[in-house]
């Protein structure tokens, strides 16, 4: 017996998304509604401090897992699995990340125009943060759900003498230098796997979404 597969009615999506994204979508044709995560979160939670705490936890908090994702796993795999390398535009440009990796680009960031302090080509992000927020949540990286923290074991002199970012990015498993500590540790929040495009208001360009195009808990089925 052949089953007829039908798409769920639109009201189911609207119910799952608590009706928020229908209102966000109604004004989206005039340009981005939210320039930053801060504006998006304020609108989504209507300023409720409890809800905002939950949303920040979902989108920004890594629970300290940057120690694992940022250093433990790269060491265990001799650089084969390293989120920092994936973020550099010389490895994957912002324009090709969604197609190749299935990750969602952070709408608050843009493609880099020059390398940063330690030689990496990371997205330029305009998310306003206090020093306390940076300490708790890290900084945006250009991919929703990946957060950047300073590496306490980073040695700038050893880094420069070894060849810096170019050396770090060109390492193979055979040439991997376990003593070459990177300047940043990359952690992962819930949003990297769960935030995706709002089915009622998807981005016209999946590589260049606006905040109002994102649904926090719809599930990122595009990850490769």
Q: Tell how strand 146-150 and strand 139-140 pair up.
A: antiparallel
Separation CA 151–CA 39 (nearest Å): 29
- CA quadruple 53, 17, 40, 94: dihedral sign: positive
List residues bridging with 186 in a β-sheet: 148
- The answer on pLDDT for 178 being more than 50 is yes
> 30: pLDDT confidence band, cut at 50, 70 and 90?
low
118-136 average pLDDT score: 95
Tell me the per-residue pLDDT of 129-139, one tens digit each, with 9 for 90 and over. 999 999 999 99
CA atoms within 13 A on the CB side of 72: 7
Q: What is the pLDDT of residue 32?
A: 73
Cα→Cα distances 51→47, 58, 72, 169, Å: 8, 11, 32, 39
3-state DSSP of 131-165: HHHHHHHCEECCECCEEEEECCCCCHHHHHHHCHH
- The answer on pLDDT for 7 being more than 90 is no
- Whole-prediction pTM: 0.86
Domain spans of the chain, in order of start: 10-224
**Is 17 or 170 the better-scoring residue by pLDDT?**
170
Beta strands in 10-161 (DSSP E): 109-110, 124-125, 139-140, 146-150
On average, the pLDDT of the chain sits at: 89
């Amino acid at each position: 017996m052949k089953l007829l597969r039908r798409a769920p009615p639109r009201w189911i999506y609207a119910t799952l998304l608590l009706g928020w994204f229908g209102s966000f979508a109604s004004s989206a044709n005039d340009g981005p509604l939210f320039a930053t995560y801060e504006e998006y979160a304020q609108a989504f939670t209507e300023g409720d401090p409890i809800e905002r705490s939950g949303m920040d936890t979902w989108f920004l908090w890594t629970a300290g897992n940057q120690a694992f994702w940022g250093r433990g796993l790269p060491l265990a795999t001799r650089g084969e699995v390293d989120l920092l390398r994936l973020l550099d535009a010389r490895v994957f440009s912002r324009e090709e990340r969604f197609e190749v990796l299935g990750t969602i680009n952070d709408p608050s960031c843009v493609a880099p125009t020059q390398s940063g302090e330690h030689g990496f080509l990371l997205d330029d992000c305009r998310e306003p943060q206090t020093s306390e927020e940076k300490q708790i949540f890290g900084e945006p990286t250009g991919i929703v759900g990946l957060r950047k923290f300073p590496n306490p074991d980073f040695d700038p002199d050893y880094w420069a003498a070894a060849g810096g970012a170019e050396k770090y990015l060109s390492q193979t498993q055979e040439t991997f230098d376990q003593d070459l500590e990177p300047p940043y540790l990359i952690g992962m929040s819930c949003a990297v796997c769960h935030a995706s495009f709002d089915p009622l208001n998807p981005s016209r360009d999946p590589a260049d979404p606006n905040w109002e195009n994102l649904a926090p808990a719809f599930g990122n089925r595009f990850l490769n």
